[in-house]
Amino acid sequence: MVILADTLVSFEALLPLALFGMFAAVAWWAMELAAARKPRTLERLDELKHPHKRKSSGGAALKKQDAMTRMLEKATPALAKPLQPKSEVEVSKLRQRLASAGFRGEAAGGIFLGLKFVGLVVGLLLGGGTTLGLGGLGQKALVGTIGLAGFLFYLPEILVGFLGSRRKNAIFLALPDALDLMVVCVEAGLGLDQAMRKVAEEMKGTYRVLAEEFALSNFQLQMGRPRAQVLHELGLRTGVSDLRTLAGVLIQSDKFGSSIAQALRVQSDAMRTRRRQLAEEKAAKTAVKLIFPLVLFIFPGIFVVLVGPAAITMVRELLPRMGG
């Protein structure tokens, strides 16, 4: 027993040193990796010196991505068959929702429905196996299995909704600046198509989502599609009400021959005013939203600091006298 106790004491004494050595080794390894990597400038020079190596590495990555995409496209139709929409209206709604989230491919709907079906099956299997292994068959196990399956079933919809709302917010915040740039381009003598191309090129680094949408619309115009149809699809594809209004105004201006620059200027002022009003609304809601963290986290601490000494004094002085 004495030997065992001595061994435990020595192990407890060596444990902090072992943990320190482990963390030091991990930190040293991370620093070695960071130092061994070449700077980006040298990597670019190597790419320029050896273009074939760059093409081969990029081609391998693209081949892997293409193989994964082809596998998903082949596997999802059979999985998505039980969840396929029954009417064309539901199909168009699904495509519009996926397009507003940035998924515009032909197989996006099948992949989305296939992932929902896979999530349902995985939730039933995983939840059923876990609950049966832990608690056995019962009402709680059944409820837990159904809850996990439902969560995994609706998880793709939650992710698509989150991505769609983020894209819509990014487009809404970028529209006033894009319209100002379009006004400058149109007043400088460019047409609407050239102005959209210029906006897509200039705003690629700052507002990437709106630049991609303008670039896609410009590509459709170059393919010979009517401008009114392209602008209408731009408003529907993004799902932003301000962009649909802008598309309608541009279609009317093109149809009746009015000044496009003036229409863009009016829309830019209106959108900028609305963005400022939304910012003021959020600022006004801040005081109401701060009530809950104040009550839950800050007021208890203040209450303890202010009332604590008085409560301790009352317990020490008053209770003994009352008991006596």
pLDDT in tens, 5-43: 444 444 455 555 555 566 566 666 665 555 555 555 555
Higher pLDDT, 317 or 167: 167
Name, of 31-40, 65-74, 129-138, 234-243, the range with top average pLDDT.
234-243
CA angle 298, 300, 305 (to 5 degrees): 100
Higher pLDDT, 106 or 184: 184
Provide the b/e sequence for 265-287 (b: ≥16 CB within 10 Å): bebbebbeeeeeeeeeeeeeeee
Q: Within a 13 Å sphere around the CA of 115, how many CA atoms are in the beta-carbon half?
A: 15
Distance CA 322, CA 37 (A): 75
The single-letter DSSP state of residue 39 is P
* 3-state SS, residue 98: helix
**pLDDT recorded at residue 268:** 82
Distance of CA 275 to the CA centre of its chain: 21
> pLDDT-derived band of residue 137, with 50, 70 and 90 as boundaries?
low
End-to-end CA distance of the chain: 52
Distance CA 197, CA 186 (A): 12
* CATH architecture label of 167-282: Up-down Bundle (1.20)
pLDDT in tens, 228-258: 888 888 888 888 888 888 888 888 887 887 7
For the chain, the domains span: 60-165, 167-282
Distance CA 38, CA 119 (A): 41
**pLDDT recorded at residue 76:** 62
Answer yes or no: are the C-beta atoms of 246 and 267 closer than 8 Å: yes
pLDDT higher than threshold 80 for residue 308? yes
**pLDDT recorded at residue 189:** 82
Answer yes or no: are the C-beta atoms of 199 and 213 closer than 8 Å: no
**pLDDT recorded at residue 25:** 62
Higher pLDDT, 171 or 25: 171
Tokens matching residue 1: 């027993």
| Arithmetic mean of pLDDT over the chain | 75
Distance CA 200, CA 309 (A): 65
**pLDDT recorded at residue 57:** 45
> pLDDT-derived band of residue 218, with 50, 70 and 90 as boundaries?
confident
Answer yes or no: are the C-beta atoms of 250 and 263 closer than 8 Å: yes
Q: Is 124 exposed, middle or buried, given 0-12, 13-18 or 19+ CB atoms closer than 10 A?
A: middle
